[in-house]
Chain A
Amino acid sequence: MSWLSDEAISRLKEASSLPDVSGTRYRLIERVGSGGMGAVYLAEDSVLERRVALKILDVPDMLNGAGGVSERLVREAKILAQLEHPGIVPVHDAGTLADGRVFYAMKFVEGKQLDQLVKDMNHPSASGADLLPDRLRIFQRICDAVGFAHARGVLHRDLKPENIMVGPFSEVLVMDWGVAKILGSTPDEFDAEAGQSPGHARTVSPARTAHGTVIGTVGYMSPEQARGEVENLDARADIFSLGAILTFLLGGSEPVPREVAAIAQKAMAPQARGRYSSASDVALDVARYLDGLPVSAYPENVFRKGVRWASRYRVAIVLVLTYLVVRALLILFSQH
């Protein structure tokens, strides 16, 4: 005879597997996923009485020093703390648990990962919310956040739909800065080990090259990242990933306008010098497309320019034509 139901036993098992956060202001509710270097838990901040996300190392860091995962988690928290932007998940707190595991608390983001959102948008039963402009506005917000990080000298290096959350009000948050790099810094132990972090199961294996370690995700990482040229990476590596994300976003949207396809193509140019020089430039080109203006990635011939101009000012053109027709008719009638 069992004293506890299976459900109760499974809850107890789940509770016992949660890290011990006693001594902190947080109370764990459930595990919600895993990010770079550790697991992410939904928790309640008992002081401010709000829900937060806690990122905690999966296991205590044996190295507990330079190059260890603890240091990397703290580094990630520090980088995030420097990036105060509506499109970047804010860090509230950081500390160490009783068992030595490092953690940090951040905003609990309720929403969908971009890959899931796009899947839902592409579903045949989806409503009219899957319009191209909606997707492009989401993309613009991603570019804004990434552009802000670049302006602060931070490269994300693992931009992909799984690392982007879209909230219920279309707010966009770029997540998982675990393999971020400070621009201008020299490749360090972190770069050499980053690909081996437990939270990066989806990240390409850290195959060593002549230059360094491959950090990123296949399909979204730039060719220079794939070659392991850690020291040569700049903002254009993330811009390649932005291009790949744009391509992903356009996946279910048919037909893709030539201008938008050209923006994605330019962002994903094989050579870094062929790409946009900043994420803001990518966002600007998308904004220009949405405003009916020409985009830098797609040079137009005179005919296309004329069509776009007429489309942009169609109401004014109709009004002027109406005026001319009325004038012509009045002249015609007056002569008879």
Chain B
Amino acid sequence: MNKILLGVILGGILGALDGLTAWFTPEVRTMLLRIVIGSMMKGLIAGVLIGVFARKVNSLALGIVFGLGVGLVLAFLVAYLQHGYYFEIMLPGGLVGLIVGYATQKYGSAPRPVDARA
């Protein structure tokens, strides 16, 4: 599967799952849908960025570091907007980025070379 598409799908799914865990916090349960959508959007953005990086840079280690970094930065922004829960949001957010970074490098397929005669 194409690296960007893989990043988007994986980021979206993991982001949505990440948002669904808000159900276990009773005080925010009423906002679950908004949290899931927001979290999924965060995952999708992370997936695109990590997928594009994986397409440009073919390195498992750098892919993981970049994924972790993107996940942490996006999670930090979300936590900053919520004025708190930095640890609870950034730790899983960073892990999601790390997983997407690993998966895009490991399982994503590189683009086909362009035929010079075309």
Question: B-side binding surface: helix, strand, loop or mixed?
Answer: helix
Complex Cα gap A316–B88 (Å): 22
B58-76 residues with Cβ-Cβ distance < 8 A to A are none
| A327-B21 in contact (CB<8A) | yes
Tell me which residues across on chain B come within 8 A of A320, comparing CB atoms. Answer: 99
Contact of A323 with B95 at beta-carbon distance under 8 Å, contacts A331-B21, A334-B24 already known: yes
A244 to chain B, nearest CB (A): 37
Tell me which residues across on chain A come within 8 A of B21, comparing CB atoms. Answer: 327, 330-331
Complex Cα gap A315–B98 (Å): 12
Count B interface residues, CB 8 Å.
16
Question: A-side binding surface: helix, strand, loop or mixed?
Answer: helix
| A322-B95 in contact (CB<8A) | yes
* A326 in complex: contacting residue of B91, B102, B103, B107, CB < 8 Å: B91
**Additional 11 contacts, C-beta under 8 A, given A327-B21, A331-B21:** A315-B106, A316-B102, A319-B102, A322-B95, A323-B14, A326-B95, A327-B18, A330-B21, A334-B24, A334-B88, A335-B24
| B102-A330 in contact (CB<8A) | no
| B99-A319 in contact (CB<8A) | yes
Q: Give how many A-B residue pairs fall within 8 Å (CB-CB).
A: 35
B108 to chain A, nearest CB (A): 12
Complex Cα gap A323–B98 (Å): 10
* B106 in complex: contacting residue of A316, A327, A330, CB < 8 Å: A316
Tell me which residues across on chain B come within 8 A of A322, comparing CB atoms. Answer: 95
Which 10 interchain pairs have the tightest Cβ spacing? A331-B24, A323-B95, A319-B99, A330-B88, A327-B21, A327-B92, A326-B92, A326-B91, A326-B95, A334-B25
Q: Is B96 an interface residue (CB 8 A)?
A: yes
B86 to chain A, nearest CB (A): 12
